[in-house]
Amino acid sequence: MEIIIKENEQLASEAAAKVVARLVREKPNAVLGLATGSTPLMLYKELVRLHQEEGLDFSQVSTFNLDEYIGLSPDHEQSYRRFMNKNLFNHINIEMDNTHVPDGMTDDIPGACAAYELAILDEGGIDLQVLGIGSDGHVGFNEPTSSFASRTRIKTLTQQTVADNARFFCDDESKVPNHCITMGIGTIMDAKMNVMLAFGEGKAAAVAATIEGAVTSMIPASVLQHHPTAKIFIDEGAASTLTLSDYYRWVYCGKPEWQKDL
């Protein structure tokens, strides 16, 4: 794992965007795995800026999102398809047909999940997966005790996640769908690179458990300790309870510039 601690969310997001941009420049038909929620918003903003101001070209890129709520249609205000269109896809030159978000309205959930896995394989697998982390350590919507071998499937959100996400649904927990389709942990671990972002003290405990705790399905993100190329971009708040934070800073500062966005 590589831990990159930046002063604030903006600087951490810009550093993560450089990694994405470098991949897209080197591999124009890169396959990106994407996340939603508050965490990647500044990353997407920076990718939009890089496209508009520096010509970062997404015309051959394909994307697969981690998850979608079951029962929300693509045009629902809180659907992850709508989130992606609004915050990224509508502002870059990506082909909409190359963007994939699980279908929360499907009446064949197992079939749609299997097809999603196949579509990822057909594109040659995910080159870089963007991840946030839940306060309970989830990645995608793989809640605690999710199997490390899991693939795209239906999951039930924990009550903690429902409470956390109520802020997107007028603070009304009863409006948050309890079920979702999410890539599995096995799917995420197959990505060639994982880029996780986490900001704020509210994520500090989950981040410390992920990086410095035991690998356990109780903290699904901790599985990233077994991933060969996992980069964790965090701000000071999210880093606030790490035991070895001075070491991570020292490692990053000692890197030559060219290596920082590899």
Residue 157, interface with ligand F6R (CB under 6 A)?
no
Helix, strand and coil content of the chain, in percent to the nearest 5, comes to: 40, 20, 40
* Binding residue for ligand F6R, selected from 29, 38, 145, 147, defined by CB under 6 A: 38
Residue 79, interface with ligand F6R (CB under 6 A)?
no
Q: Which of 68, 100, 117, 138 is catalytic?
A: 138
* 103: annotated active-site residue: no
Distance of closest approach, residue 161 Cβ to ligand F6R, in angstroms = 6
Residues from 197 through 256 that contact ligand F6R (CB under 6 A): none
Q: Which of 46, 127, 136, 190 is catalytic?
A: 136
* 67: annotated active-site residue: yes
Cβ proximity of 159 and 136 under 8 Å = no
* Binding residue for ligand F6R, selected from 134, 137, 177, 220, defined by CB under 6 A: 134
Q: Which of 127, 143, 190, 235 is catalytic?
A: 143
Residue 181, interface with ligand F6R (CB under 6 A)?
no
* 91: annotated active-site residue: no
Strand pairing class (193-198; 230-235): parallel
Q: How far apart are CA 235 and CA 8, in angstroms?
A: 5
Residue 39, interface with ligand F6R (CB under 6 A)?
yes
User: Sign (positive/negative) of CA torsion 1, 233, 238, 176?
Assistant: negative
Residues from 52 through 71 that contact ligand F6R (CB under 6 A): 66-67
* 136: annotated active-site residue: yes
- HSE-up (13 A, CA, CB side) for residue 7: 1
Cβ proximity of 97 and 104 under 8 Å = no
Cβ proximity of 34 and 40 under 8 Å = yes
Segment contacting ligand F6R (CB under 6 A): 91-99, 134-142, 229-237, 251-259? 134-142
Residue 37, interface with ligand F6R (CB under 6 A)?
yes
CA distances (Å), origin 60, targets 31, 65, 97, 103, 146: 9, 17, 11, 22, 33
Distance of closest approach, residue 260 Cβ to ligand F6R, in angstroms = 24
Residue 137, interface with ligand F6R (CB under 6 A)?
no
CA distances (Å), origin 190, targets 104, 183, 246, 249: 23, 11, 30, 28
> Per the structure block, which two tokens stand in for 113?
């999940």
- Site of interaction with ligand F6R (CB under 6 A): 35-39, 66-67, 132-134, 138-141
Active-site residues, by number, are 67, 136, 138, 143
